[in-house]
Chain A
């Protein structure tokens, strides 16, 4: 996985349906009672986890799920059984 890296985080182009477009920075202001787990490389598929399954650092969660499924039946399980 690759996290997005922005030079100007939160900067957007707003185009009102009646009016002229303008740039602005949009920040969350939702007063969360719990921030929540960030969905990023660290929580979804870190390099460590990817490498553990022989995947590159660009691998996606989907690829990891597939690899785990395949790996279990052919490699891991065989080693557990013996």
Chain B
């Protein structure tokens, strides 16, 4: 069975940690500072319910439970009824809930916004960061993934959280329907909570669309690919077909069915001129091309760099 290395930050002074991941006992080790690590069996959904007993240097024992997420696990369908359900159970109090209600509460409720949501959205942002960079973009975010239930985020924490959502939203030209980022997390409504995750969902969709329309080496001719930035379609491969022999024009989706024996290298930002290489070469235009890169190399070498090095 494959495994997943899990990390979490625990309180300073923690001496010993024991507990379970998805109900299975695991060994935790202190790797650096207050960071503790374990290796757990990889779950099918990449979600890990962690329950720990922590013993600190004073010999005091405490319990902590949290959920770690990896990849995209987005919730965009919260409703007013979900919020009302949270209010109802909250007003009942834990001791008056039925076993079913306690289980429902413990599993995390869509109508509330808590550590589980912050960790889930954080992992989604990290997932998108990796996906962007895999496609040749230079994107860096640093979401926190291990919020605990009893922690209270500061205003600064939440400003950072939203700023990273906003940053990711700004990397691509998003759809007209993509929501705006909430101004702050104060009195967050269920609609705003949905919007945060809808933004990330839209970004993932656009990244998938972008990859769906890449041309491959040997497929196209000069002039057929106009820009170095990757095309980001809302409807990948949708075309308007206009028969010359008559008949009405019609829209259709056209996808390759050429039974390739070799897919070929995609002609895209990553293979032609990534953000990282553009920065490395000192290209400053907003959307640099391969031609600019070659010109920069030539100019830089013969006039500036070589003269400086040789003298």
Give chain A's interface residues, CB within 8 Å of chain B.
1-19, 23, 26, 35-41, 43-44, 58, 60-62, 65-66, 68-69, 72-73, 76-78, 80-81
Contacts and interface: CB of A to CB of B under 8 A. Distances in A.
Contact of A13 (B254, B277, B309): B254
Contacts of B267: 39, 44
Interface in B267-311: 267, 270-274, 277, 280-281, 290, 293-294, 297, 300-301, 305-306, 309-310
A11 B219 CA distance: 13
Given A18-B250, A61-B290, A7 B280 contact: no
The 8 closest A-B pairs by CB, nearest first: A4-B264, A3-B218, A36-B221, A6-B258, A60-B271, A7-B259, A37-B222, A40-B218
A39 B280 contact: no
A62 B258 contact: no
| Central interface residue in A3, A61, A72, A76, by most chain B CB within 10 Å | A61
Q: Chain B interface residue count: which class?
A: 35 or more
B263 interface: yes
Contact of B306 (A1, A14, A43, A77): A77
B88 interface: no
Given A3-B218, A10-B258, A13-B257, 13 more contacts: A1-B217, A1-B271, A2-B263, A4-B218, A4-B219, A7-B258, A12-B256, A15-B252, A19-B252, A38-B222, A44-B217, A65-B297, A69-B277
